[in-house]
Amino acid sequence: MATANRIPAFTATPARLGADILVLLSSMPQQQLESVLDKLNACFSSRAVVIVTPDPLPVDSFPSLQFLTVPATNTSWTLSAADYANAYQLAGKNEARSILMLGPEAGSLSLSALADLANAVLTTPTDLAVPRYDLPPHGGMINSAILYPLNRALFGSRVRFPLALDLGLSLRMAERLAGIAGRFTPLSQGEALIWPVNEAMVAGFIINEFDSGPRTQPQPPGIDLSTILPLVTGSLFSNIDANAAFWQRSRQLPPVRNPIARSLPMTMALSVDASAEIAPMLQAFHLAYTNLQEVWRLVLPPSSLLGLKRLSATDGAAFRMPDNLWARIVFDFLLAYRLRTINRGHLLGALIPIYHAWVASHLNIIASGIDPEHHIEAVAAAFEADKAYIVSRWRWPDRFNP
């Protein structure tokens, strides 16, 4: 969804006042748009709905829905600051009580997922409704390795996809997110990422997560891992830095909700033949180990370097990265990001080979028959267990660190 970075000029007449929900769609192919509109029509047959889309509308196909057309924004793979700013402003103009934001490829979302997200903000006191997608074992790796465990450990939220592509927002949640987005849009940073779950946690808003089934995850077009990992991780690190006063206090995690239903069928997990993918990632890690020592030494304490040394001695199917080592490494990179130990671009670039190592280890673990979700939960638990370390080093970074 993308930006015009500023609130666009409307090409249609304002919708009728007092809409129940405003649905902001990102740009999508016509066929997919019609599919989404069909589902929305079925969901909101008795509601006043305003649909905002940058795409040309199917003429007279959905008489019960009100439409607004806005220019497309620049970001085509996730929701950006400009989208949040636009959504809140449009909701205000149409006096909508809640907002449903659907990201790219939203056509793959099921009807029940759409209904759950919308109903949560329409009929319950939920401020932020987030989906929980069923991704394949080799999908959403950055989310599984960094975003989810880090968010869970620091912000005390079990939301599995902190950077979800589809959201239900109450008006006050949308206002808060628009306020955050407003810091970026005047600086022509409308494509900046916003972290709704973190903001909701900081504001003390109610968050609800819904199983949404499978969904096509749009990949950032034309950019590779060396761009996307620093972009997403850097944005999260900045958000963590900005909210340091919040997460440094200890927090109780909400109880696990329906854990068994989340496990992937074991046959699916076992069918992953990722050896072809693992080999180049291990090569990348070994190459980095011989070349990037001087950079890692500036960021990582001796114990982590020793862990990496041991790791570099293993290869193939035996390659396993201990969860606590990964947690410690991510925390140290977070700290170095805050302290600007080295240039931030260099720092996040130096994280990529270690991330490769984690992915290789994760795929090996899955191939050995362990449920990927169990492993990801174990990683998140390791992050939680090591939270005291990051809090301590955040407060006293110069203290002796073995």
Partner 1 sequence: MQHVLAMILQPDPSQASQPVFADSASIWQHMSTALHQSLYRVLTLLIVILPGILAFIAVLAISTLVGMALSALLRWGLRSAKFDDRFARDHGTVDWAPSSSATNLIARGAFWTCVLLGLIIGVSAFDAAYATFALRPNTFLPYFTQIVGAVFLLVAGTLIARFLARSVLIGAVNEQLQYARFLSLGVKWLVLVLTAAMVLDHLQIGGNVVELAFGILFGGIVLTLALAVGLGSRDLVSRSLESRSATSERGAANPATPANSAGDPIRHF
Query: Which residues of the shown chain bind partner 1 in the complex (CB under 8 A)?
Result: 77, 135-143, 182-184, 186-187, 189, 214, 216-217, 219-220, 225-226, 228-229, 232, 238, 241-242, 268, 271-274, 276-277, 280, 283-284, 287-288, 290-292, 295, 338-340, 342-343, 345-346, 349-350, 352-353, 359, 363
- Gap between the Cα atoms of 107 and 36, Å rounded: 5
Question: 166 has which bridge partners?
Answer: 102
CB of 330 to partner 1, least distance (A): 15
Burial classification of residue 248, based on how many CB atoms lie within 10 Å of its CB (0-12 exposed, 13-18 middle, 19 or more buried) = middle
**Six-digit token string for 227:** 């761009």
CB of 393 to partner 1, least distance (A): 13
| DSSP string computed for 260-303 | GGGSPPHHHHHT---HHHHHHHHHHHHHHHHHSHHHHHHHS-HH
CB of 56 to partner 1, least distance (A): 26
Residues in the chain: 402
- Gap between the Cα atoms of 263 and 375, Å rounded: 11
Other beta carbons less than 10 A from residue 33's beta carbon: 21
User: Parallel, antiparallel, or unpaired for β 49-53 and 21-25?
Assistant: parallel
CB of 374 to partner 1, least distance (A): 17
CB of 127 to partner 1, least distance (A): 22
CB of 137 to partner 1, least distance (A): 7
**Six-digit token string for 99:** 């907002």
Query: Closer to partner 1 at the Cβ: 158 or 215?
Result: 215
8-state DSSP, 21: E
Sheet of strand 166-170: strand arrangement: 66-69, 49-53, 21-25, 98-102, 166-170, 128-133, 207-213
Query: Closer to partner 1 at the Cβ: 41 or 108?
Result: 108
8-state DSSP, 180: H
Query: Closer to partner 1 at the Cβ: 203 or 272?
Result: 272
Is residue 349 within 8 A of residue 295, CB to CB? The reply is no
Closest C-alpha to 339, from 227, 228, 244:
244
Query: Closer to partner 1 at the Cβ: 69 or 243?
Result: 243
CB of 148 to partner 1, least distance (A): 13
CB of 288 to partner 1, least distance (A): 5
